Amino acid sequence: MSALLAERAPQAPAPRAHVLAGPAAPRLTSMLGHAGIATSPHPGSGTVTVAAAPSVEDAVRTGAATDRPQLLVCDTVTPAGLRLALHVGVAAVLRSAGLTPPHLAAAVHGAHHGDGRMPYAALAQLLTDAVSPAVRPAAPPAAPAPLTARQAAVLDLMAEGHGNAVIARTLRCSEHTVKNVIYELMARLQARNRAHAVAHAVRLGLI
């Protein structure tokens, strides 16, 4: 009976993507199509707005006159650009170099559910630059308790931008286990999404 009820359970609608006009729009639309993500000519409920540009600043400006982009695809991602993206509420930033359809589709799904994805190197540099020697406290705060081996492994894979399914396969555990570990990390780090969890972990020296 439980199996029958599971089969009849309604499936959550798949997210759609609205790709803002630009030179890279045809390529992104094609990649999304290959990954099974439908595109929409207009933004709307259940639609993730995608903007592509050489830099984060350019991508944010591209969406300024239309709908706020939730996902940016950029050639260059600097700490300053990442700060701007976080300030305007962008959920995810991807580098265009090496971007694959599955990676792009995973980012769309993540943005749809409020999960953040940010390039780890730029995010770490942003946090390093945020605390200059002039304002750094004289005595460093007490070191936080170390993460468990599984928490550290999940956090490292999150920092690389992997979704729950890939993390579960890599660590040879269930997605339910991964979700539980992420819930523990979010509570411990007081983070709202994946990007904030990684940012807090870097700041605390946990990764």
Question: Which tens digit of pLDDT belongs to each residue from 64-83?
Answer: 555 566 788 998 888 888 88
Sign of CA dihedral 96, 22, 126, 200: negative
Q: How far is CA 3 from CA 8, 9, 202, in A?
A: 9, 10, 43
What is the average pLDDT value for the chain, to the nearest integer?
77
- The CATH number covering residue 102 comes to 3.40.50.2300
- pLDDT, tens only, 45-55: 778 888 888 98
Q: How far apart are CA 122 and CA 78, in angstroms?
A: 6
In-domain check, residue 129: no
Q: Looking up tokens 């599955």, which residue turns up?
A: 102
Provide the pLDDT for residue 5: 43
Provide the pLDDT for residue 1: 44
Give yes or no for residue 104 having a pLDDT over 50: yes
Looking at the structure of the chain, the number of domains it has is: 2
In-domain check, residue 64: yes
In-domain check, residue 157: yes
Q: Are residues 113 and 154 in the same domain?
A: no
Provide the pLDDT for residue 66: 55
Residues β-bridged to residue 131? none
pTM of the model: 0.58
- Which domain does 177 fall in, by range? 141-203
Q: Are residues 77 and 145 in the same domain?
A: no
